[in-house]
Structure 1
Amino acid sequence: MSSPEQRAAAILASQRFVVIGTTDADGPWTAAAQYRLRPRGLYVESDLGSRHARAIAVSGTASGVVYDSSAAVADADGVQLAFSAREVDATEPAVRAILASRLPRDAGPVAELDDEVAAVLAVPTKRLYVLEVERAYVFDRDAWRSRGTDARIEIEAADVWAALGRP
């Protein structure tokens, strides 16, 4: 049987979308975004005008969930994350640093890095948002299977990222 940290790493490695939770003056908001893995977290691309981007600019925090929506109910599993969050400056060095830091699952060929940086910078309102993991949890499958209770187990984020290939 795999550890909770190994389960979390497997989910993060096999999925591509995170549902990001933020809050602003109008209340809570969630939005799905494609993510890329990086050391101790992930990053997403978004427009400056998006509600979650505006909320991150104010609070510097977000939450997220990554789950396998194709799993049977009895096999449900997911990773819930609390993030410190920030917008990456729209400069060539800042964007390049984030794209170059991607973990192997999401790293493109080095020869394409210049094109990827240019593609981000080509859209004036596009930004990268770094989501650094502060706390991580997995679904408590035993509680679900034995009592029908929706519960979570806190896990060591550093161990999850070590399992992903880089601490």
Structure 2
Amino acid sequence: MSTVPAAALDYLGTHRVMTLATHGSDGPWAAAVFYVSDGATLYFLSSPTSRHCRNISENPHVAATIHEDYADWPQIQGIQAEGVVREISGDDEKHARVLYGDKYPVVGKIAQAPAAIVKALAKVRWYRFEPQRMVFIDNASGFGHRDEIDCRS
């Protein structure tokens, strides 16, 4: 197993939206979700009835990207990843909630959250994305620079 470069971990920690690519009985689907990172592990919440979560329940192997909308090619950075998503509960969910609340205070301070947020959070499940392979694209280190990372232990 190779170590995830600090630049890739920093990138994960400073961004918020991951696009998940899933596949289920209705075919492929992509959906953007807010996430929080703990090293290379990513946590997110979503409705179990959403198409991407239904797909995950059928086939937990997914692909994901994290990137910005860059206008300047030499500045492009981003993450491409593949791995497995699992619904979590118990201590894993508590851990995810704390991390998520630190990054997104409206979720962490549920007593102070707007009623619509409280209502929505009552319907979600928590998920963990464990990447098996990642690619950190970093044109700032040279055009087309890619760090291929094996995340399997």
In 2 relative to 1, CA 40–113 (structure 1 residues): closer, same or farther, beyond 3 Å?
farther
Give 1:110-129 correspondences, 5 Å limit. Answer: 123=122, 125-129=123-127
Question: In 2, Cα distance between the equivalents of 1:98 and 1:44?
Answer: 8
**What residue is the counterpart of 2:67 in the other structure?**
67
Give me the whole-angstrom Cα distance separating, in 2, the residues matched to 1:81 and 1:47: 22
RMSD: 3.5
Relative to structure 1, is the Cα distance of residues 121 and 67 closer, same or farther in structure 2, using a 3 angstrom cutoff?
A: closer
Q: 2:103 maps to what in 1?
A: 106
5+ unaligned residues in a row in structure 2: which ranges?
113-117
Contact 2:76 2:138 in 1 (8 A): no
Indicate the structure with greater strand content: 2
Residue 8 of structure 1 corresponds to 8
Match of 1:139 among 131, 137, 141: 137
How far 1:84 sits from its partner (Å)?
Answer: 1.1
Offset from partner CA, 1:116-150 (integer Å, 9 cap, x none): 9xx59961x311111112111122639x83xxxx7
Q: Secondary structure at the match of 1:74?
A: helix
| Equivalent in the alignment of 1:41 | 41
1:113 deviation in Å? 7.4
**CA distance in structure 2 between the partners assigned to 1:15 and 1:71 by the alignment:** 17
Same amino acid, percent of matched pairs:
23
TM-score by length of 2: 0.72
The Cα of 1:86 is off from its aligned counterpart by 0.8
Q: Is the 8 A contact 2:12 2:40 kept in 1?
A: no
Aligned partner of residue 7 in structure 1, secondary structure:
helix
- Secondary structure of 1:85 counterpart: strand
Q: Please tell me whether the aligned partners of residues 41 and 133 of structure 1 are also in contact (alpha carbons under 8 angstroms).
A: yes
TM-score (norm 1): 0.67
Runs of 4+ in structure 1 deviating by more than 3 angstroms, as ranges, are: 105-108, 112-116, 119-122, 150-153
The alpha-carbon deviation at position 76 of structure 1 amounts to 0.9
Residue correspondences, number: 142
